[in-house]
Structure 1
Amino acid sequence: MDDYTEVSFEDRMSTVDFQVSPRAHIVVDSAVCRSCTTQECVTACPADLFVPTADGGILFNYEQCFECGTCYLLCGKQGAISWTYPDGGDGVTFRQG
């Protein structure tokens, strides 16, 4: 039987590198988001990068995105999220801890 060793969040994050691209690989259309009543992206993003704005829109900070695609898969509003891969060499890199 394998032993499971608990790893702290800080230790897990120390194995993640982000090479921030000048081009956002995810673009959120706040105008479309304003008509969304559920805003699944806010609660589903594992990096907590979606922030509701006072006017009902969404602000997205792509700089520490894990590129998991959860937001894109869960979003039910056509055109709210445009998702592409980061340019070569940019984005997230996971290292062995």
Structure 2
Amino acid sequence: MTVQKQGTDELLGLDKFTVDEENAHIVLDKTACAVCNDKPCLVVCPAGLYKLNDKGEILFDYAGCLECGTCRIMCHQLKQWKYPTGTFGVSFRFG
């Protein structure tokens, strides 16, 4: 039997995300991000939601958030981190 490894995109595609477009549950302090040298968010997010653009600025989209809280612990540049409201957020389909 051959076991095939799946990449992050394939695994995240199994989950269902209901996004609250009007209330972001994670808000970055972009000014603080600009002077942050370590930028741990780029490596600790299991969903890979934090990226650098061509200008070296942090780009972030909370729509695919797994709600694990890793960025909340590792990043000191967050203005806000809370769980999504009510029926919004991630629904894991396969554990």
The question of a shared fold, defined as TM-score above 0.5 by the shorter chain, is answered with yes
Indicate the percent of aligned positions where both proteins have the same amino acid.
40
Instruction: Kindly state the Cα deviation for residue 13 of structure 1 after the two structures are TM-superposed.
Output: 3.2
Give the deviation of 1:95 after TM superposition. 1.9
- Superposition TM-score, scaled by structure 2 size: 0.79
Alpha-carbon distance in 1 for matches of 2:28, 2:13: 28
Amino acid aligned to 1:21: D
Runs of 4+ in 1 over 3 A off after TM superposition: 12-15, 53-57
Q: CA deviation at 1:65?
A: 0.6
Which residues of structure 1 form unaligned runs of 5+? Answer: none
In the alignment, which residue of structure 2 is the partner of 1:18? 17
> Which is greater in Rg?
1
TM-score by length of 1: 0.78
Name the count of aligned residue pairs: 89
| Cα distance in 1 between the residues matched to 2:65 and 2:29 | 17
**RMSD across aligned positions (CA):** 2.0
Q: What's the secondary structure of 1:18's corresponding residue?
A: strand
